[in-house]
Amino acid sequence: MCQCKTCEYLDTCCCSTLKSKQIVFIFWTVTHSLLSFLLSHMIACGFLKETHLVIYAYFVISVVHLLGGILLGIGFFFKLASTYLAGTVISSIAPFSLLGYLAVFQIFFIIFACRYYTLELKQ
């Protein structure tokens, strides 16, 4: 998984290590899930006018995204490779299905996560 020499430069790009990029990925995921949850709460309280389907969709996606962030954190801090990989997959559902601008960042985070999984966790 992403062991080619071409991707090796990504380990230290942006003046940070691969490990620190994973911490950013975890906080990025949890923060966006909480913001999405807040948005669904604002819609439910009547601050924004949307249908019930949109309220439920935002709520469900924010909960799934939060679950992905929690699994990422558990897998990262306790060095559990399968939990980390599950968190990476689950955290990708919201950016690719609902929030378009997040998909661009998510692609880079997935590459960094795969490199971290291959080099640090899967040994």
Higher pLDDT, 84 or 115: 84
Give residue for tokens 């960042």: 105
Give the C-alpha separation, 123 to 120, whole Å.
7
Tens digits of per-residue pLDDT, 19-66?
Answer: 888 998 899 899 989 988 888 777 777 766 667 777 777 788 889 999
pLDDT score for 15: 65
The closest of 70, 49, 52 to 60, measured between CA atoms, is 52
Segment 86-97 shows an average pLDDT of: 86
| Beta-sheet strands, E only, within 1-123 | none
Tens digits of per-residue pLDDT, 61-91?
Answer: 889 999 999 999 999 999 999 999 999 999 9
Give the C-alpha separation, 95 to 116, whole Å.
20
